[in-house]
Chain A
């Protein structure tokens, strides 16, 4: 076989080799200059390469393949533990005391259905990913806030479209999010029209429930008929909290909407981060102390709400019409005040307006109000006051390793893998720590 003609200018490398032929010039093309919210996760590994870079923004740009290190066995165990440590640190910063939160929430989800959402910078498209995460968000939200209601509004072609009515049933909300053909993105988004539509749909709600708007915004423009700052002032007056998750860069108006109303603003850097900041909005928000100017009789601590506990009708009871759909059914719940039959709880009775909840729904919201104290990492074993220190985790009986692990050096992680409860002084392993704080919400040692 004749040897191939080798051109002198041709460098024989593989197409996917990472030897850059052009050197540093290649790096300048990367990145879209996204405005980012600097969050705690960034590490300064980029600074070590400063001598090779021409632009200062490259110093703060973390290459995600650098932050993940393999240990000598080739496993990513250390990186996974690092992520868990960051989660613990974030949890430690959250207040451990019980603060007042609104459990009864009304949320309007504002989805951006403009042409900018067909961009493919998030796989498969921003629109598909947003729909998928919105469905997961709705499921998780109703799991954590069973007494809440969600409505969906879309921003498309310069107007706000009502996609779903405010409903407390997760299946209804998921149904209107699943009809993808109805939601095809076109046109330009209009922030003002959509926020006005959301605000007017929440205007009739009682004051003891929280009103929130969550905007998933992927465009960099908005075309509004009037002055959006008037809308913003109206929202502040109506005590509506607006939070924005931006998929493109940060806009000043988005930031202002969130800051003035007390919501949270985030720009998604990648798919995982998008999901994280979306799910940060699932727990109920802390209620801010409202400065009442000259309101002598209004004592915020004395707000009482009327709720009714229904009696359940089993399948064997005689069929009758329900008050909500006029369906002939046997099973249902009886409102305690007016004895009307409703199909599903929690709901507002259609006849007398009483809020009907069952006790597990209330119980599911309690863990927000009584959080478990975060565990402290045990960093030194000298000077132990107790005569015998447990050799195994108090909850799952996993044996603690007696040797110090050298991989865990970041703050918040204990080198012995022990985490101590400040109240009952029992040691727990890292997995139980995560499990207790995220799922069970009850310390096994304290039993509270």
Chain B
């Protein structure tokens, strides 16, 4: 715990799978609301444990994968309002992630046949991001990047969808490249 660590979380956001998981006929029903509240508590804990910890959250939706939150770049312009009972970094993470997820779900719309969950794209994007962080070699401008080299990058994948046979080869490639990194 002495060194800064990086965590990439990939969340599987396929609507049909979450709907099926929330059915009360399951042995342990889990709805997306409870899942998200637990997940946000986990993300807050990771940020709180050390100041230099960095966090990236990716969402894997049917057909595409998006970057939901990145601690190194503030992609959203609106800063959430401060009230006395909330801690700003936590509130920033929580509100960004939830807002983005809601936007993505609204954008899905009604489709006859839902395309398969793009977990592969999210995993490769997480690897590219980690590659970019661990090798801060080239900068186009003369601005010096801060020399906090990331130790110990990790990827956590939370998935409720069954495995896809067509994504076997890309997932194995991702595993081998994670071995090399």
Contact = CB atoms under 8 A, between A and B. Distances in A.
B132 A360 contact: no
Contacts of A405: 140
B67 A447 contact: no
A13 interface: no
A445 interface: yes
A439 interface: yes
Contacts of A445: 121
A395 B168 contact: no
Contact of B177 (A360, A393, A439): A439
Nearest to A367: B173
B170 A431 contact: no
B124 A436 contact: yes
B124 A396 contact: no
Contacts of A396: 125, 128-129, 131-132
Given A397-B75, A417-B140, A447-B120, A363 B169 contact: yes
B85 to A, nearest CB: 31
Given A397-B75, A398-B132, A440 B172 contact: no
Interface in A379-406: 393-399, 401, 405
Given A366-B173, A447-B118, A397 B73 contact: yes
A431 B121 contact: no
Nearest to A435: B131
Contact of B121 (A367, A370, A444): A444
Interface string B146-181: 000000000000000000000111101111110011
A38 interface: no
B128 A444 contact: yes
B70 interface: yes
B10 interface: no
Contacts of B173: 363, 366-367, 440-442
Interface stretch (A73-81, A190-198, A292-300, A309-317): A73-81
Nearest to A433: B128
B135 interface: yes
A444 B135 CA distance: 19
Given A397-B70, A439-B177, A447 B170 contact: yes
A448 interface: yes
B118 A431 contact: no
Interface in B107-142: 118, 120-121, 124-125, 127-129, 131-132, 135, 138, 140-142
Contacts of B141: 401
Given A77-B138, A431-B131, A397 B176 contact: no
B128 A448 contact: no
A235 interface: no
Contact of A395 (B73, B129, B135): B129
A399 B132 CA distance: 12
B176 A442 contact: no
Contact of A431 (B75, B124, B125, B132): B132
Interface string B62-102: 00010100100101000000000000000000000000000
Contacts of B180: 439
Nearest to A432: B128
B132 A440 contact: no
Contacts of A401: 140-141
A364 interface: yes
A81 B172 CA distance: 30
B124 A444 contact: yes
A364 B181 CA distance: 16
Interface in A219-261: none
A447 B167 CA distance: 8
B170 A364 contact: no
Contacts of B140: 401, 405, 417
Nearest to B131: A435
A393 to B, nearest CB: 8
A56 to B, nearest CB: 39
Contacts of B167: 447
Nearest to A443: B124
Contacts of A447: 65, 118, 120-121, 124, 167, 170
Among B118, B128, B132, find the residue whose CB has the most chain A CB atoms closer than 10 A: B128
A80 B138 contact: yes
A448 B169 CA distance: 8
A364 B176 contact: yes
A81 B180 CA distance: 23
Contacts of B118: 447
Nearest to A407: B140
A73 B128 contact: no
A448 B164 CA distance: 12
A432 B172 contact: no
Contacts of A393: 128
B172 to A, nearest CB: 4
22 contacts: A77-B138, A360-B176, A363-B176, A364-B176, A366-B173, A370-B169, A395-B128, A396-B125, A396-B129, A431-B131, A432-B128, A435-B128, A439-B177, A440-B127, A440-B128, A442-B174, A444-B65, A444-B121, A444-B124, A444-B125, A447-B65, A448-B120
Interface of B: 65, 67, 70, 73, 75, 118, 120-121, 124-125, 127-129, 131-132, 135, 138, 140-142, 167-170, 172-177, 180-181
Given A397-B129, A432-B132, 12 more contacts: A360-B175, A363-B173, A394-B125, A401-B141, A432-B128, A440-B127, A440-B173, A441-B173, A441-B177, A442-B120, A447-B120, A448-B120
Q: Which 5 A-B pairs have the closest CB atoms?
A: A395-B128, A363-B172, A444-B124, A442-B170, A447-B121
